[in-house]
Each structure stands twice: as C-alpha cells, then as structure tokens.
Structure 1
Amino acid sequence: MAATLSSPQTRTLISTATLSRRKGRITYRIVLTLVVVVFTLVFLGPLYWMVTGGFKSASEVVANPPTYIPKHPKPGNYHTAWTQLKLARLLFNTLYYAFGALAFQLVFDVAAAYAVSKLRPVFGNIILAGMLATLMIPSAVLIVPQYVTVLDLPLLHFNLIGTPWAIWLPTVANGFNIFLLKRFFDSIPNDLMHAAAIDGAGPLRTLWSIILPMSRPILGVVSIFAVVNVWKDFLWPMLVEPDPKNQPINLGINSLSQGVPENVIIAALAISAIPTLLIFLLFQRNIMSGLTAGGLKG
C-alpha cells in the first residue's frame, strides 16, 4: 500500500510527502471538514427547512426574521395535510404513472440498447448518435411537439389528453437510459452470445436467458431513474392531466392547495419527498455500482 501511495504514477491533489508531515495532515483535515460541512448544509438545508416548516404555525412560517427551530411544534399539520389534500390518492396516482412508465421503458429501451450493442444493425452508430443528440435538446423545447402528438396521435388519431398514456408514451424513448444500457451490454463478452447461438438460442432467447440476468445492476439504475423522473415531473402532467383527482402528487398538491395554510402545504411537500429519499437511501449502492459497472471489461 505504501509503495502504491509513493508511486510516481499516482496523482493526487496533495502529495504523500505533505500528508506525512503533521502540519500537512492538520491542514488537510480542516479543509476536508469545512468542505464536507458546507456541501452538507447546501444539500440538507432546504430539506431541513421544509421538514421544520411543516411543524410551524401559519404565522411562524411567514415570520420575518425566520425561526430556525419551531417555537411550538405542531405535528398535527402533517395529519391535516394527509387528509385535507388527499395525499393517499395522489400517492397512488404517482405510483401508477411511475411504474407504468417504468414498464414501457424497460421493454423498449432494453430492446433498443440490445439491438445497437449486440445485434449491430445497419447504421446502428448513426441511430445511437441521433438518440444521444436528443440529450442536447432542452426539455422545454419538446413540450409543444409532444403536446401536439398526444392531442392527435399520428395515424391512429386518438386524443390522449386526460389518460395515463399521455404521461407514459413521452417517457418511453429515453436516450440517457438507452446509452447506459448499451454501455453495460457492451461489457458483456460476445463469446456468451456465440455460445448461445451454437446451442440454438435466438436473439430473444439470448436476451432473456443471458443478457438480462447479468444486467440486474443497470436495470435497477434505469428503474430508479424512470420512477424518480415521473415522480418529480410537474409541467408535463399539468398540461395533459387536468383532473385534480387523477394528478400525480406534485401537481395535485398545487391544484388542491387553494385556501390551505402555508404550513400545511409545506407539510404535504415534505411527505411527498419521503418516497424518493427512501428510494435513494435504500438503493444508493445499487445506483453507484450500476453506473460504474458498464465501464469495466471482463
């Protein structure tokens, strides 16, 4: 280990010689502690403000200067938010939309990535480049053509406004997820494909029996991204789902918040953030391993 640290190929911000001195170690630890504390405050500060705001009274929420700790905590605000804003129904709607979008993405994005990575179609690289080029287009630019599409579905001429399909279909072709899946599939040896072909397995059987079982880490990452993207979306559901009873939680809170005190609204927002935080805390190891697995060969 010592040889590795002192190796001339090792490049770090602080040399091992500096860290070997007492003054260098103290300076390093102080700077590291300050950086960690600052970034922690930046990321956790808004969450703390939202959670504590749900415990404050309506007058204390809008008080100036603000209070950092609730003077008289009111846990009942969270119960009021749950019942008055019908959060149970809104959470069910959000889960319905999120897992529906997940199902479509897993089917179509996996198929597209598998085809580009292993089946190597004609002009496959050009097709992949076109998919990646869509990542450079701001999402706001795509809202109008997407809305026109779901308003009058080409060829079939169906109006999808007010149906779950209006939320599901625009999420299907996700260039970022296709790229992640393609990179992971590239790391799977082609020898396995050849062995399966010798045994008589076709492309679909190879995908189902060999590729997908080996791709659980990246499939978990794509699943989490798909769910979170639908969960946090606001503008698109506002355009295509006008009925407050069928809206996802972020939009539903906004639609049902007329005449509701600010502290109750903040409590509802805190409740709506809990599922995504739990998803990250429970699956953060899977997220990191899935993102890095495609960069390793063998």
Structure 2
Amino acid sequence: MTAARTIVSPTQLRSRAGRTVYWTVLLLTLLAFVLAFLFPFYWAVTGAMKSAGELAQVPPTLVPNEWHPETFATAWSEIDLGRYLLNTVVVAGGAWAIQLAVDVPAAYALSKLRPRFGNLVLGMMLSTLMLPATALLVPTYLTVSEVPIVGVNLLNTPAAIWLPAAANAFNIFVLKRFFDQIPDELLEAATIDGAGPIRTMWTIVLPISRPILAVVSIFAVVTAWKDFIWPLLVLQDPSTQTLSVLLQRIAPDMPLNLLVAGLVLTSLPMIAVYLLFQKQILAGLSAGSIKG
C-alpha cells in the first residue's frame, strides 16, 4: 500500500522538534483565523456599549472606559427595531418559502423527469448568473411595478422581493446536482408501486435531500435578510422597510453607538440560525453521494 503524501512527514512528527513546530504553526494559524472572524463582532459589541464620544475618539479604545449595556435597550426602543424586525422576518421567510416551492420542483424535473430541451433551459438559467446584478435592476423593477398580464403593482409589499427571488438559478443548479446522485432505481420502485412524479418527489426525494435543502434554505434566508439595494428600491414606504434599509435611512441622525447597537441586534438572528443549523449546513456542503 502506497503511503499518503503529506506536507509534514511522519518521521518529522515523531521527533520532538517536529511536533513542536507543527503544533505551534497550527495553533497560531487557528488563532489568526479565529481573531479575523471574531474581532469585528467583538468590536461592534463593545463599540455599542461605549458612549458616542468614546466611540468616535481617535485613537479608538479597545476596551470601553465606561460600559453602557443599556444602549441595546435604548436602540431597540428608539429605533423601533421590533417592528422592522417583523418586516424582515416576513420578507426573508416568504423569500425562503417561494424559493423552495419553485426551485425544488424545477430541479427535480430537470434531473429526474428529463423534459425535452431540459439542458437548454438549464443553460439559459445558468447564463443569468453571468449578468451583473445591477443590469437586472431596471427590468426587474419595471416587472414588479406592473406585473405582466395581471397588471398588479407590487411596490411597498413583500411580494416585490418574493417574486424576483422565486427562480434562483444557483439554487436550482445545486439542487439538480444533488438530485442527479439519487439512484433512479428508488424512483422506479416508487413508480411500480403506483406513485406519481409529485408523490415520488414528496415521499422519496425530499427526505433524502434534507442536507442540501438545509443549505439552500440558509442561502435563501441570509440573502434576503442582508439584501439592501433591492429592498431600498421597492420598499419606499418607511413602514414596510427591512432592517438593512432602516439603518441606512436613520444613520445620519442617529448617535453612532445606538446605530452600532442596532447593527449588532440585527445580526444576532442570523448568528443564531447558523449555530442552530450548523450540522445541517456542513452535512449539505459535504454531501457528495447517496449510500444505499
């Protein structure tokens, strides 16, 4: 059996000096990555608990001279974050639901039903990923301001964000690649038992696809939660705006520490979502085969 080639040979790891160098480099690298990801969050949390004057001073203080944890409660009440948090939850939840409702059947059809010109349709969808997002703003805005055929104006409603999010080419491609790996024998057995395409998708394909559905769900929710340009264009009524648009709108007139506290509070739900579903996310990202 051929030995696996590694950067550090087993002989070097068996020596005391080799182990010392190896673990020192590994720990320093891990520490650098942890600091790179956690320090900005630490800076935001501690910045929110500083006074406005201390937060603006130069050079900045690493640790607040005086702690003001009440800033978070003040930001919540003065900015009315609860109301805009609900707006954002409605927007993100609807975008997630409509993406799964459209993308999963589309990917299943392209993968397992194999319609005529399916590859052409997939190629045309993937070609939209090559277009810059700014090039799609005007035609998409005109579409939601007067939906073709029905002529409905969706501006200042969550549907103005849900409709463009419905057909996501990237999600369809990722789902199709996963569905391609599901053995056709499973679907053929369901067909022999009398199950139609919809029942087969619901009872066979979806339970197997939980990891990739979790990944697509996280992508959909996070994208809708943090999006700024499109909600800014279509949600012009302040009462319908999301958190990202709200914080930009009030930034010029809001004390800096309150604004930072608002930013921290709006980021907490997405952090909680990741911590709760990190196992599913990692399982979906590493899903490469279906075991029989």
Is 1:220 paired with 2:210?
A: no
Of 123, 131, 141, the match for 1:137: 131
2:56 to 33, 37, 62: 62
**Cα shift at 1:41:** 1.7
* Residue 130 to residue 22, structure 1, CA distance change in 2 (3 Å): farther
Q: How do residues 60-139 of structure 1 correspond to structure 2 at under 5 angstroms?
A: 60-139=54-133
Please give the alpha-carbon distance, in whole angstroms, between the structure 2 residues aligned to 1:285 and 1:26.
32
Distance 1:289 1:183 in 2: 15
RMSD of aligned C-alpha atoms?
A: 1.5
**1:167-220 deviation line (CA, Å, top 9, x unaligned):** 111111112211221122122111111111111111111111111122222212
Deviation at 1:226, TM superposition (A): 0.9
* Displacement after TM superposition at 1:16 (Å): 2.2
**1:249 maps to what in 2?**
243
1:18 matched residue in structure 2: 12
Hey, what does 2:184 align to over in structure 1? 190
Supply the distance in 1 between the matched residues of 2:14 and 2:134 (Cα, whole angstroms): 52
**Which residue does the alignment assign to 1:296?**
289
Contact 2:74 2:258 in 1 (8 A): yes
Residue 119 of structure 1 and its aligned partner are, at CA, apart by 0.4
- Counterpart of 1:174 in structure 2 is 168
Partner residue, 1:270: 264
Which residue type is aligned with residue 135 of structure 1?
A: L
Unaligned segments of structure 1, at least 5 residues: 1-6
Conserved in 2, the CA contact under 8 Å of 1:196 and 1:206? yes
Counterpart CA distance in 2 for 1:9 and 1:168 is 53
Please state whether the residue corresponding to 2:286 is helix, strand or coil: helix
TM-score normalized with structure 1 length: 0.93
TM-score (norm 2): 0.95
2:43 matches 1:36: no
Which of 182, 194, 198 is matched with 1:200 structurally? 194
* Match among 144, 147, 152 for residue 141 of structure 2: 147
Q: What's the secondary structure of 2:213's corresponding residue?
A: helix
1:50 deviates by 0.6
| Separation of aligned partners in 2, 1:176 and 1:201 | 29
Write the distance in 2 (CA, Å) between the matches of 1:21 and 1:129: 55
Amino acid at match of 1:26: T
Q: Equivalent pairs: percent with the same residue?
A: 51
d(CA) in 2 for partners of 1:132, 1:29:
44
How far does residue 9 in structure 1 lie from its aligned partner after superposition?
Answer: 5.3
How far, CA to CA, are the matches of 1:144 and 1:23 in structure 2? Answer: 62
Contact 1:104–1:172 (Cα < 8 Å) also in 2: yes
Report the alpha carbon displacement of residue 258 of structure 1 after superposing the two structures with TM. 4.5
The CA deviation at 1:18 is 2.2
Q: Give the partner amino acid of 2:228.
A: F
Say which SS state the counterpart of residue 43 (structure 1) adopts. Answer: helix
Count of equivalent residues = 291
Partner deviation per Cα, 1:25-81 (whole Å, 9 max, x = no partner): 211111112211221222112111111111000000100000010110111111110
Partner letter of residue 296 of structure 1?
A: S
Q: Once structures 1 and 2 are overlaid, which stretch shifts more, 147-156 or 221-230?
A: 147-156
Amino acid at match of 1:206: T
Equivalent residues of 2:187, 2:200 under 8 A apart:
yes
CA shift in 2, pair 1:50/1:16, >3 Å: same
1:152–1:158: 8 Å Cα contact kept in structure 2?
yes
Moved more, 79-88 or 120-129: 120-129
Following superposition, the deviation at residue 141 of structure 1 comes to 2.4
Query: Are the counterparts in 2 of residues 221 and 286 from structure 1 also a CA contact under 8 Å?
Result: yes
> Which residues of structure 2 form unaligned runs of 5+?
none
